[in-house]
Structure 1
Amino acid sequence: MSFLIIANPVIGEPTKLLGITTEEYGGNQYLVLEFNGPDIEYVTTERLSPPTLQIGLGNVNWDRGDYKKRLNLAPLVEYSVKVPVAWDLTSVTNRVDVRLNFSERPAFTVELKTNLPEAPRNIMVIKWPTPDRQQVEKPSIDPYQPIKPALVSINFKNADIVDVLRLITTQHGMNLVLGDEITGEVTLKLKDVSLEKAMNTILSVSGYSWFMEDDIVIVKVKEQQLQMGGELDTHIFRLSFLNASAVLPAISAVFSAQGSAVELSSTGQDLNDLIMVTDIPSNFELIEKIIRTLDKENQQINISVKFIETTLKKDETLGINWAVRVDTSLALGLGQLVNNSGNKVSLATLAPSTVSALLQVLASDAETRLLQEPQITTFNNSPATITVGTTIPVLVPQAEGSMFGSQPYTYQDQNVNVNLQVLPRINENDLITMSIQASVQAITGYVGVERRPIVSSRSTDTNVMVRNGETLIIGGLIFDQDDSTIDKLPYLGDLPFFGRFFKSDGKSKSQNELLIFITPTIISS
C-alpha cells in the first residue's frame, strides 16, 4: 500500500535533516524529524507484513550517513535512515529514506509542520496511539535485525575480544566491522542466552556498543557511536517558579556535544515555563537534578522607603546637627549620622524602636515634611526600582521670532525626580545585603526672565548589610536653594511705572537636606 504526498515544491538549496527524536506523552507516541527549512518533498509507503512505514524525503540532505536505532517504544521497534546511492556517481540524489519498523501495525498519521512560531520551526511528526502495555510483548530479539533467534552458550577465559566477536558472528552468518580501537580481553561463561544478550554482555563490560546495518554488525566505542548522531532522547521539563532562560545556562554547561535545549511556553505568552532538552540518556539524571535544585520558590522582600526633607538651621551648614535636635540617648543610636563632618553622604542603621523615636522628633519640626512613602515587594536577588518626582512646565523661547519682532514662547516639561534602586540579597542569620543606587534632583533656584528652574543633582552608590526589619538612613544629600520674595502694598504695588516705589524685592538662601529611610523586611513563605 502506498501513499504519495508532495508538499512545498523544491526551491533553492536542499533542506537539511537535523535530527530524529522520539517522545511519548498524552496517550500518544511520536517520532519527530527536524529540518532547517520548509522546502520538503516526501512520499510515504506502507507495508502490512511486516508492518513497515517508509518515508522518502526529497530535496533533503542527511550528513551522518546510514544509521539504524533500536528502541524500547513498542510497537515501534526500530527506525533507520538511509541515503540512496545514485546510479550516476556524478549526480547528487538529495534524497533520504526513513524507515519505521513496527511489531504490529498502529493507526499512525504523518503531518508536516513548517514555519512554526517557535523552534523547532520545521518538523515532520509521525504519531500513533500508545498501546496497552499489558498486551504488548517485548521481543527478546528485534525481529527486524538479521540476527537468528538462537541460544548461545559461551565459555572463554582471557580471550581476545576481537576473536570472540569473529567466532560468534561467523557461526551465525553475520558480517562484522571493527575499528582499530576495539581491543582487550574478556572472561565470561554464558549458557543458553539469546544472541542479542550475549553481544550486549560481551561489549558493555568492555565499554563498547554495537548496532546493525543491513547484514553487518558494527562495533564502536560508546562515545563514538553517540557522535554519529544516535542515542538521543528528548525530555520536557515544566518549571514552577523560574523562567526557562534562568535555567538554560546552568544545564547547557553539562550538555554532551549533541545536547540542546529549547524554551517553550505552555500559555503562548512571553513567560517560558517549559524547557525541552535533547541529549544522551545518561545525562538526564544530572540535568534533572540541576533543574530541580534551581527551580525553587524564591523568598520575597518588602522594601519600605520614606523620603523626608528638612530645612537646615543657620548653624547646620554641614547637615543636621542631631546632637542638638534629639536627646543624648537617641543621638547615640544615630551613629555615623551624628559624626558626619562635612557635606558628604552618611549612613546609619537603626533598630525599629530608634526609627520610631526619630520620626516623632522629625514630625514635630515645622521645617520638616514627608515627601513620599512608597513600598515595593521584590524577589530575593531581584532589583526593585522606585521613582518619585514631579514634572514642571518650563517656558522657553522658540527658535525664530515673529515678523513683528516679538519672541514666541512655548512650554516644555522638565522632570525633577528622586530615583532609588535596591538589589536585596538574603543572607544567613536573618541578615540582608543591599546594593543601593540613589539619585536625587532638586530645584535650587531660577534664572532668566522666564524663571527657568535650576536643577541640582546628587547621587550615591553603596553596599550595606542590615538585619531583617532594621532601617538604613541615608543622609547628607544637601541642596542650597535661592529664594526670591516680593513685598508690596496692595493695589499700589501693581500701578504702572509708580508701582516700583511701593514694593521691594528680597533674596534669601536656605539649605535643605533629604533623608532616605529604607527598611527591608523578609516576607515569610
Structure 2
Amino acid sequence: MFQHEGLQGIFANDADNSLVVQGTPEAIEYIRRILRFIDIAPKQVLIRAEFVTVSRNDAEKFGIDWNLARVNLTAGASGLADRTAPVFVNYATGNLAANLRALLSQGRGRVVNAPIVTTMNNSPATVFFSTTDYIEQQVVIFDQNGRPTVFSQPFPVPVPTQLTVTPRVNADGTITLTLFPQISTVGRVQVGTNLLPRFDTQFVFTVRRIKNGETMVLGGLVSRTDNSTTLKVPILGDLPIIGQFFRSKDRAIVENELLIFVTATVIEEDTPASGLAP
C-alpha cells in the first residue's frame, strides 16, 4: 500500500500512535492522502445506566410481564426479614420505557444509582455498585473466669451489582448493545443452630439493537420482603397456652423490582474525526 518512488522509510511510534515518514515532499503527501482514508477516529458512545426500584404492583400496572423462568431463592432468619428473590432478565423499549419514566416522575420509584460512562465503538463499558446487607452472627466472649457469653450482632455483607455494555454503531445509525448484567443476592441458610450467609449471583448475556438515544429496560431483580411484627400484652402475652390470646401478629409483604434503564447515545464530533492535520 505504502509504495512510492520517493518514499525512504516509515517508522511507527506506538507510544503516541504516530508515524514518522521520510521521503520527498511528493511521497509524504502521498502517504498523507492514504492515511486520511484509513486513520478514522472510532465513534464514541455515551452509556447511561439507571438502577431503579419500583413496587411489583406499580410495575404490573404498566404492563410489565416478564414471562421467563425464575429461580426462587428462599431464605429466612430470626430477627431479619424473610426474602424470596426470583432473579430474571428481559428487555423492553418504546412506550414501556416512557411509561416507567412517568412512574418515577410521580415519586413511585427510587433511583438506586445512575452512572454515566463513555466508551469507544465496540469497546466494553462496565458500571458497578454495591449495597450492604446484614446478617446476624454469634459472638462468644469469655470473662476472666473463663465463662462464655454468647450474643448476636449484625455483620455487614456487600452485595454487588454489575452491568457490562458493549455498543456497536451500525451504518444505519442504530446501536447494537451487548449486555451482561450480573445481579447478586445474599440469603441465609440454617445449619443446625447456626445461621450462615448464602450468596447467589445470577447473570445473563443478551444482545439488543436500539435507535440512537433510545432507552431500553432490563428487568433485573424481584425481592420479596416479609415483615412480621408481634404485638403482645406485657406478662399475659408470655403465659403458656393462654398467652396466644394476648398476642397479635401483623404481617406485611412487600415486593420490589429492580429495573435497569440503559440509554445509548452516539456522541457527535464538533469537527471531522478523520484525517491528519495539514
Normalised by the length of structure 2, the TM-score is 0.63
Partner SS, residue 148 of structure 2 = coil
- Residue from 334, 340, 348 that aligns with 2:67: 340
One-letter identity of the residue aligned with 1:437: F
User: Aligned residue for 1:389?
Assistant: 130
Distance in 1 separating the partners of 2:113 and 2:135? 24
Unpaired runs of 5+ in structure 2?
Answer: 1-7, 21-26, 71-87, 270-278
- Residue from 164, 171, 186 that aligns with 1:421: 164
The answer to whether the Cα contact below 8 Å between 2:183 and 2:201 also exists between their aligned partners in 1 is yes
One-letter identity of the residue aligned with 1:360: A
Q: Does 1:360 align with 2:87?
A: no
User: Aligned residue for 1:481?
Assistant: 224
The answer to whether the Cα contact below 8 Å between 2:137 and 2:195 also exists between their aligned partners in 1 is no
The answer to whether the Cα contact below 8 Å between 1:234 and 1:276 also exists between their aligned partners in 2 is no
Distance in 2 separating the partners of 1:446 and 1:287? 68
Q: Does 1:374 align with 2:115?
A: yes
Structure of larger gyration radius:
1
The answer to whether the Cα contact below 8 Å between 2:222 and 2:256 also exists between their aligned partners in 1 is yes
User: Aligned residue for 2:261?
Assistant: 517
The answer to whether the Cα contact below 8 Å between 1:444 and 1:482 also exists between their aligned partners in 2 is no
Q: Does 1:309 align with 2:53?
A: yes
Equivalent residues in 2 for 1:285-324, closer than 5 Å: 295-313=39-57, 320-321=59-60
The 3 A distance-change label for structure 1 pair 374 and 301 is same
The answer to whether the Cα contact below 8 Å between 1:478 and 1:511 also exists between their aligned partners in 2 is no
Distance in 1 separating the partners of 2:259 and 2:133? 23
Partner SS, residue 512 of structure 1 = strand
The answer to whether the Cα contact below 8 Å between 2:237 and 2:247 also exists between their aligned partners in 1 is no
The answer to whether the Cα contact below 8 Å between 1:456 and 1:479 also exists between their aligned partners in 2 is no
The answer to whether the Cα contact below 8 Å between 2:51 and 2:258 also exists between their aligned partners in 1 is yes
The 3 A distance-change label for structure 1 pair 338 and 508 is closer
Number of corresponding residues: 231
One-letter identity of the residue aligned with 1:273: D
Equivalent residues in 2 for 1:392-407, closer than 5 Å: 392=133, 394-397=135-138, 402=142, 403-407=146-150
Distance in 2 separating the partners of 1:442 and 1:517? 20
Distance in 1 separating the partners of 2:200 and 2:218? 18
Structure of greater relative contact order (alpha carbons < 8 Å, 6+ residues apart): 2
- RMSD of equivalent CA atoms: 4.3
Equivalent residues in 2 for 1:168-207, closer than 5 Å: none
- Residue from 191, 201, 210 that aligns with 1:466: 210
Unpaired runs of 5+ in structure 1?
Answer: 1-232, 239-243, 245-271, 278-283, 332-336
One-letter identity of the residue aligned with 1:356: A
Distance in 2 separating the partners of 1:339 and 1:415? 28
The 3 A distance-change label for structure 1 pair 276 and 432 is closer
One-letter identity of the residue aligned with 1:470: E
The answer to whether the Cα contact below 8 Å between 1:482 and 1:507 also exists between their aligned partners in 2 is no
Equivalent residues in 2 for 1:47-196, closer than 5 Å: none
The answer to whether the Cα contact below 8 Å between 1:485 and 1:505 also exists between their aligned partners in 2 is yes
Partner SS, residue 204 of structure 2 = strand
Distance in 2 separating the partners of 1:505 and 1:452? 26
User: Aligned residue for 1:249?
Assistant: none
Partner SS, residue 406 of structure 1 = strand
Give the C-alpha shift of residue 493 in structure 1: 5.1
Distance in 2 separating the partners of 1:288 and 1:410? 70
Normalised by the length of structure 1, the TM-score is 0.36
Give the C-alpha shift of residue 273 in structure 1: 1.4
One-letter identity of the residue aligned with 2:132: T
